Amino acid sequence: MADQDAVTGNDMGVGEAVEQFVVQQVYPQPGVKAQSDYRNYDNPARDSVRDFYRQNHRHQTLDFVRARRAEFLGLQRRRMSPFEALAFLNTLVDDSDPDIELDQLQHLLQCAEAIRADGHEDWFVLTGLVHDLGKVLCLWGQPQWAVVGDTFPVGCRFSERIVYSEFFAENPDAGDSVLSSEPGIYQRGCGLRNVLMSWGHDEYLYHILRPYLPEPALYMIRYHSFYAWHREEQYDWLCDDHDRAMLPWVRKFNPYDLYSKCPTPPDWQQLRPYYEDLIAKYLPAELDF
């Protein structure tokens, strides 16, 4: 297991650039035009995002996902209180990237506060606060392409509607007659719970929080990066009626993740008592990571 020193500022910068790119370019706010430099192939941020997805699509194979699940889903790496996890995640600040103004905690806090401001249920607010905690994978030596970015099913044909889908040509599974077919290793309508998703922070955190949060919250956490499903309407053939019933919740969460940027950043110290109570209502004193 690589140690924490394996994460450099530059490593994190790519991950942040990916998320920024996804927000601003791939999935612009409905009604808002993507920025005009979208087609600027000389844009270094764009190049790093492109390279990120090249790595991601090349390496996220069925075997890779199975190996990461075996490695991490035992949840025996570290016990942390939810607050420790938030603080731990916040060590992933990249000060080498001038385009990124927000640290991890600010993103989570702004997301949660935007949900709260709209009067949603408290478990929904909590979901906003914790939804990216799985990114602590970065601190355990996982490369960016195995932590952040869009997620998608492995073990069946890759949808062409996945961002930079051309890079799947470099994925060994794409050359396998079973793994590149539409049912692949699955049965039609088997339900997403029976589908192996590309490995990243969404799936990891889902397993950590599964005992504690209501079902819609778990769908938001597990599938918030599965844009091919919740935005592009792909992979319905894998879904069952329960997935379809939960999809509106995943969609309801997405704008808060992408677009909640407040002009005045929320004050964590001031808000902390509210969030301490909220966390205590749903989560145990310590979580198994």
- Contacting positions for Fe ion (CB under 5 A): 132, 257
Report, in Å, the least distance between residue 257 CB and Fe ion: 4
Report, in Å, the least distance between residue 9 CB and Fe ion: 20
* Closest C-alpha among 204, 207, 200 to residue 227: 200
* Closest C-alpha among 84, 144, 142, 127 to residue 257: 127
- Output 97 or 257, the one with its CB closest to Fe ion: 257
- Output 94 or 257, the one with its CB closest to Fe ion: 257
Sign of CA dihedral 154, 159, 161, 166: positive
- Output 173 or 202, the one with its CB closest to Fe ion: 202
Between the alpha carbon of residue 284 and those of residues 122, 137, 183, 212, 278, the distances in Å are 16, 21, 39, 8, 11
Distance between CA atoms of 227 and 133, rounded to whole angstroms? 19
- Output 135 or 186, the one with its CB closest to Fe ion: 135
Report, in Å, the least distance between residue 278 CB and Fe ion: 18
Tokens of residue 140, six digits: 């355990």
Report, in Å, the least distance between residue 103 CB and Fe ion: 12
C-alpha dihedral, 161 to 163 to 166 to 170, nearest 10°: -120
- Output 57 or 131, the one with its CB closest to Fe ion: 131
Distance between CA atoms of 234 and 227, rounded to whole angstroms? 9
Contacts 24+ apart (CB under 8 A), 177-184: 179/62, 179/154, 179/155, 180/156, 181/156, 181/157, 182/156, 182/157, 182/237, 183/156, 183/237, 184/153, 184/155, 184/156, 184/157
- Output 135 or 184, the one with its CB closest to Fe ion: 135
